[in-house]
Chain A
Amino acid sequence: MADDSHTSELGGLSYDPAPESRSIARLAPSYGLFLNGEFTPAASHEQFVSINPATEEELATVAMASASDVDRAVASARRAYEKVWSKTTGAERAKYLFRIARLIQERSRELAVVETLDNGKPIRESRDVDIPLAAAHFFYYAGWADKLEHSGFGPRPRPLGVAGQIIPWNFPLLMAAWKLAPALAAGNTCVLKPAETTPLSALILAEIFQQAELPDGVVNIVTGDGTTGAALVEHPDVDKIAFTGSTDVGRLIQERVSGTAKRLTLELGGKGANIVFEDAPIDEMIEGIIDGIFFNQGHVCCAGSRLLVQESVADEVLRRLLRRVDQLRVGDPMDKNTDVGAINSAAQLERIRELSSWGEKEGATRYTSACELPDRGFWFAPTVFADVAQSHRIARDEIFGPVLSVLTFRTPEEAVAKANNSKYGLACGVWSEKGSRTLWVAQRLRAGVIWANTYNKFDPTSPFGGVRESGFGREGGRHGLEGYLNV
């Protein structure tokens, strides 16, 4: 901007650093695998490092599980299932899950700090979104454990047995909760494989399982990399695979699992369309667009990464959007006033940069936030591309970063057509004050989740999941039980 006196930044009140205290984290220097109720080294004693993506400092080392460790984990889960968990009544399983929910609440501040250090997301989000929702998922599913006969899946639905669960790095603890809570409530035992770059909060969760006196082997945690996950997917004694991650890996998993008796649910990528009609409530809509793509640094499968704005209001919306982007506070995730944190890894940063470069190559107009970025760590300034066409790569490929592509439409039908013009179908947003039109659009959108006049809202009672190449199966709600019952 040419003239500084017209600054749109927070000139008046600049906030001094307000750092959360790192010492609350109490991390050990190294962690083993969590097998059969205790921490144990990998058979090979191999470890790998987990770093803080905001500073690149080492946080701890964790065990690298090989195929033989996965084998031990599955055996432990199978033994626990046969001897203990399948004989535990629903009411008793419920009480374990209630205990776990409470312990998460009690240790919430510690978990939030660990999550922010390991993932790079702002402490405000870990504290106010990730950890509370994780506790809520355990609370919700605890209540189903002794009511399965009322869940709409028949009078005596049975569990599947041993579930192998592979989770991503974007919401590490929350994704663990989304997987473990329904599986345990339904009566299964689990082998959980956290993401390579974010293993730590799952290991604290393992401590919580110990404090809750969860029977040994009911949950086992195998930290590692892609090979660990592959070993779990291919293990013959696993009855169910649940995966959240990229569509490319989901495709491989589905190929591996096809032809076996294993049940499968997949929660994959997306290219969510946030559809803005001219009668949208303007200021709340701007917040919703911002939240839709910059929440969690855009590392959200259901991110509103495409803005489809009605042409009649496109200029005004873009102007307000860009003004708001400049106000985003990007920086130290441990600062309570940070809005946008670090990119989770060097690899992801490179992917975001590469895909974004296509934006300009293909002729879109690029706007980048005027924020200053720290020297160390992995950072990407919030970016908006305007004048994007449906055929552009940045309108089709999932970037999984803080990059918004803006396209226009003229009529509701055109909005629906453009929104659906994607191999994905995870989430969409619709902004309008006209209820009938919102419902009309929602009915026609091919998406598993549709947010009206809001975005990125999650609740354990609300089923979440995609259609088409965004995956199949639902997590949350009564529907979330289906994937873990033999029905």
Chain B
Amino acid sequence: MSERLDVKKTYKLVVNGAFPRSESGRSYEVARANGGFLANVAQGSRKDLRDAVVAARAAQAKWWGASAYNRGQVLYRWAEMAESRRGELIDQVGLAEGLKKKDAQSSVERAIDRIVWYAGWTDKVTQVLGGANPVAGPFFNFSLPVPSGVIGVVADQESSLEGFVDAVAAPVCVGNSVVVIASERRPTPGVILAEMTATADFPGGVVNVVTGLTAELVSHLVMHEDVDGVDLTGAGELGDELAHRAAGSIKRVYRPRDNGDEDSLRRLRTFVETSTVWHTIGQ
């Protein structure tokens, strides 16, 4: 009896809760870290990014309109989905990063636990980053963190899942929506995780992922005026130039720091705005 032929996966984009091919019709080859063909992945275009930003903007109002509790439940369910499909993630991380199964497994477990960590932040950020202010006058004054809006993410090029989780879950847990340019050479774990947002009850458009050639795509995302902030972690040498371009629309910019000493909340803080309200107190 001949060996069973397996059904190969076609990797597509994740935009607005759906899984389209690139409007450009292009694809490119992604190789395993240790050599050999892994998959053909959609080569996204600036128009795909444009569509993703439109979807992200529309979805963000709905996402922020849900309660913090609800957002936490959705993120926790994302972790549930990832846990139940951990086998697939372990395989892909192993192939994408050239890791032995044991190490790939640890990486995936850390990534899932990290999603759980973020799930618990949704209804606490306000208490940690906000508060009442004792102004010198008869006013009730309070400050609240509100999400910046739509965040463009250039995902970590090397860390195919853990890096992806941090860059996506941080802005999302505080109420933003994201448009992610996935790692160019290691996109598949992130795309799989993004597919799971559909079964985790995320509103379509909160998490959007466009795969493709980083250098070709990044400046379009960074210069898009309807993107409120950018995470340039995966931009590498292009980082300085992109940060310069982001200044054109006064975007909030997140860049990794050289000393590696990372305050775990920095990403959360970068992508919220503080809104302060005064209300008179008097009979």
Contacts and interface: CB of A to CB of B under 8 A. Distances in A.
A413 to B, nearest CB: 8
Interface in B60-75: 68-69, 72-73
Given A95-B116, A443-B281, A150 B265 contact: yes
A136 B140 CA distance: 29
Nearest to A145: B120
B121 A461 contact: no
Given A98-B116, A439-B140, A461-B68, A478 B124 contact: yes
A373 interface: no
Contacts of A91: 113, 116-117
B164 interface: no
B8 interface: no
Contacts of A436: 279-283
Interface residues of A, number: 28
A143 B279 contact: no
A143 B120 contact: yes
A443 B120 CA distance: 32
A139 interface: yes
Interface in A133-151: 136, 139-140, 142-147, 150-151
Given A91-B116, A136-B69, A152-B128, A143 B123 contact: yes
Nearest to B67: A459
Contacts of A440: 281-283
A478 B72 contact: no
Interface residues of B, number: 24
A145 B72 CA distance: 15
A139 B265 contact: no
A145 to B, nearest CB: 8
Interface string B52-94: 0000000000000000110011001000000000000000000
Nearest to A443: B281
Contact of A140 (B117, B123, B281): B123
Interface string B127-154: 1100000000000100000000000000
B200 to A, nearest CB: 14
A104 interface: no
Contacts of A435: 279-280
Nearest to A149: B264
B119 interface: yes
B109 to A, nearest CB: 11
A92 to B, nearest CB: 9
Interface string A408-439: 00001100000000000000000000011101
Contacts, number: 71
Contact of B124 (A94, A136, A147, A443): A147
B30 to A, nearest CB: 32
A151 B133 CA distance: 18
Contact of A143 (B72, B280, B282): B72
Interface in A392-407: none
Contacts of A304: none
A136 B76 CA distance: 13
A465 B149 CA distance: 36
B283 A437 contact: yes
Given A91-B117, A139-B69, A139-B73, A439 B281 contact: yes
A143 B121 CA distance: 6
A148 to B, nearest CB: 11
Given A436-B281, A443-B281, A139 B116 contact: no
Interface string B234-257: 000000000000000000000000
A98 B124 CA distance: 15
Contacts of B119: 98, 143
A159 interface: no
B147 to A, nearest CB: 17
A151 B125 CA distance: 10
Nearest to A412: B283
The 8 closest A-B pairs by CB, nearest first: A143-B120, A436-B280, A439-B281, A478-B127, A436-B282, A440-B281, A439-B140, A412-B283
Given A94-B117, A147-B124, A478-B124, 16 more contacts: A98-B119, A139-B69, A140-B69, A143-B122, A145-B120, A146-B120, A147-B121, A435-B279, A436-B279, A436-B281, A439-B140, A440-B282, A440-B283, A460-B69, A460-B123, A478-B128
Interface of A: 91, 94-95, 98, 136, 139-140, 142-147, 150-152, 412-413, 435-437, 439-440, 443, 460-461, 477-478
15 contacts: A91-B113, A91-B116, A139-B72, A140-B69, A144-B124, A147-B120, A150-B128, A151-B128, A435-B280, A439-B280, A443-B140, A443-B281, A461-B124, A461-B127, A478-B127
